Structure 1
């Protein structure tokens, strides 16, 4: 099917959402219109849409199981205890740095960025309620930290880029350490300050007295620590524990240590209620993603890059950025770009490690667009509307562009 049809379908989806039609129905309607305008018959359009949902089903299941951890952290008071400790130890001025660093470290040890944000989000929201901070500014801090950790992680995007360039994985990860650290500082001390924090003091005396009944810090940390350790086994020992298991197991260990087993059903129900909204959104996302995936949009981008007279060094980050835009995925963007341009990039003398590192950083520039699951998953767990979530896209793009720019600059210094 044609790329024009897919683009029109995506634009129609965004327009319908802006007009306050439910995002799931808007995305499904846009997918149908895009498929038909792209030249597919109705039966084939429906098949492409359902195939797209199948591709995103693993993410939906992980989101639902993440509700166990999220519900336990919130309903037991663990998130409030951890947020209190962060505020007390670091002070209000360093809250954003703490959230960004925590998400960065999670991604750096091999946790998927959406899972990392979902893990940190309950604590971030608790901090936001205590300090009256906008969920938007909290989310951008976590996303920025996650993007920084993603370019130095053993996640699929880094692994596939390294394999396509036939480069050593550790070398690719090490190449982007300085860009990641600079990107972290840029997120916390530049981007965060650009977003209105909408400070409203909502803490009252009743909430202050409730602090006495919160669990201890040690027991509150059990759930996130066990989750992180289980997820980190892939990079530490080569043992893969899927988030499908790691997130609920961490939550269950936490509630046992907090001696609040009687609250397990309430916590799970609360978490499921919060995550089901996100899961339903992801179904709509899968339909439009299936249409875009089966269009010629990627071929258009490949042709554009092959004919454009870019500097040979900039082909790597630009191709990663454009492919991530087409797929709304860091992994897919890095995969397509590295598979298509690895030989061209290395032919001009750029090392395999730096070529893979630049494509990997470039894939973070536009991987957050609304036809991907990351957009809806992160917005949903932070309870943002579609319009509020869309307002963060320019800031996310800026963070990704800075990461790609620093990675390219480091490559030029070593070229």
Structure 2
């Protein structure tokens, strides 16, 4: 093992190398590993110590990785069964054209909150949004602002990989982080609706060629579509409710997402009448989270480098010298990582792994840190180097130039959630 601490500047160099490679479209997993190796060697570690540091770091994220794999099963069920589409259609139909923007934002928020990944949520709701936009005269920029804003709001209260990473990064229960994000999420939804309404006549309108004619298909009943997500959320909330109500039996009942999410997936699939497709849904789900798990392992290598360095000590000293509140380190780290890598889950993984200890050393509680890092990571994560930027552009039939115009409005939504989270958890409740 390493006999001396790696200097802080070597850890920074390793992190920068990894981020630059990611920006250059190099494979993110190899980018993270290469950055970790460079940082260790620059910091004076031997080849043997470098391997030890990376193994130690990757071992630290295994708990998060297996929970993400478990979450993949529920994601597969919601996406492949048509349950997510049924939920979206029900919301839009119920609220009607007069509340079109609210219905679209709420749709993406809810189906993202029930464990559908945000790019997929936008793909599901986009055809509905384009049809509604054509009928009501709402621009494509406003439509995507509503969809993306609602998705961001749902993303911080869902059992998605980013929320799992935020919880595990600070040693918390997943349900606690999901609940803590609820108030910021409501502000995010409200901001998305307000901003989208303000710009609904701005930009290019929906054209006939934007609307793809699809064969009508029968959607499953809403009640069936909701069984799996409601069951998973109810079971995940048992511990927090027990703690809140001081019911010892519920508090001591250690329920983990590792088995709750697959259990809810199986029960929900059977209730839908699709028992013979459980294997198919599970296979689809695990394929969708494989990339995230691999990135987790790569981020673990960087985390190992940071842990072996004195970076966290130096960051705390710098904050003390400048005189600003150390509380701001949490949202700032999330924002910067989101901007760098263009992925919410990767941003959370990097922010918690690189700056987690430094954030806690400023006196910030674990729950406050997780919520502020989490909300910070969604402020500027929809940038061109990330997949979400291009998937959402294609779903709305937008050019790159048109899609770029949406980013400032998405930043307003993410910024509102981050400000609320920072005030509420960083100062009032910390």
Return the TM-score normalized by structure 2.
Answer: 0.66
Aligned to 2:246: none
Residues 134-161 of structure 1 show CA distances to partners (whole Å, capped at 9, x for unaligned) of 99974553334555899xxxx969x989
**1:291 corresponding residue in structure 2:** 305
RMSD: 4.7
| SS class of match (1:21) | coil
Q: Does 1:141 align with 2:150?
A: yes
Structure 2 unaligned residues grouped into runs of 5+: 1-5, 131-139, 160-165, 243-250, 338-348, 394-399
Check if 1:93 corresponds to 2:101. Answer: yes
- Give, in angstroms, the shift of residue 293 of structure 1: 2.7
How far 1:333 sits from its partner (Å)? 6.2
- Residue 205 (structure 1) aligned to one of 176, 192, 214: 214
Partner of 1:281: 295
Aligned-partner SS, 2:58 = helix
The answer to whether structure 1 residue 265 and structure 2 residue 279 are counterparts is yes
Q: Do the aligned partners of 2:53 and 2:304 also contact (CA within 8 Å) in 1?
A: yes
Deviation of 1:218 after TM superposition, in Å, equals 0.9
1:403 is matched with which residue: 392, 413, 420? 420
CA contact (8 A) 1:31 1:287 kept: yes
Determine the C-alpha separation between the residues in 1 that align with 2:41 and 2:423: 42
Q: What does residue range 167-206 of structure 1 map to in structure 2 within 5 Å? A: 181-190=186-195, 201=210, 203-206=212-215
Residue 66 of structure 1: CA displacement?
1.6
124, 127, 130: which one pairs with 2:125?
Answer: 127
Aligned equivalents of 1:120, 1:32: Cα separation in 2: 32
Report if the CA contact (8 A) 2:313-2:358 is conserved: no
User: Corresponding residue for 1:38?
Assistant: 43
Distance 1:334 1:9, change over 3 A: closer
Contact 1:320 1:362 in 2 (8 A): yes
Contact 2:86–2:222 (8 Å) recurs in 1: yes
Q: Deviations over 1:5-63 (max 9, x none)?
A: 12222221222223222111111111111111122222212211121111111121112
Q: Which residue of 2 aligns with 1:348?
A: none
Partner of 1:66 in structure 2? 71
Contact map agreement 1:103 1:146 (CA 8 A) in 2:
no
Secondary structure of residue in 1 paired with 2:273: coil
Aligned counterpart, 1:234: 239
Q: Deviations over 1:296-341 (max 9, x none)?
A: 221111101222234xxxx253244467679845699677545544
Check if 1:301 corresponds to 2:306: no
Q: Secondary structure at the match of 1:205?
A: coil
**Superposition deviation, residue 88 in structure 1:** 1.4
Aligned CA distance change for structure 1 residues 55 and 265 (closer, same or farther; 3 Å): same
Equivalent-residue separation in structure 1 for 2:371 and 2:426 (angstroms): 12
Q: Which moved more, 1:232-241 or 1:23-32?
A: 232-241
Query: Is 1:103–1:149's contact at 8 Å kept on the other side of the alignment?
Result: no
- Contact 1:140–1:192 at 8 Å: present in 2 too? no
Note if contact 1:147-1:400 (Cα within 8 Å) is conserved in structure 2.
Answer: no
C-alpha displacement at 1:398, in angstroms?
2.8
Contact 2:79–2:116 (8 Å) recurs in 1? no
TM-score with structure 1 length normalisation?
0.68
C-alpha deviation, 1:189, in angstroms: 3.3
Give 5+ residue unaligned stretches, structure 1.
107-115, 162-168, 343-354
**Per-residue Cα deviation, 1:257-280 (whole angstroms, up to 9, x for no partner):** 111111122111111211112212
Residues matched between the structures, number: 359
> Which of 50, 56, 61 is residue 51 of structure 1 equivalent to?
56
Counterparts of 1:179 and 1:75, CA distance in 2: 30
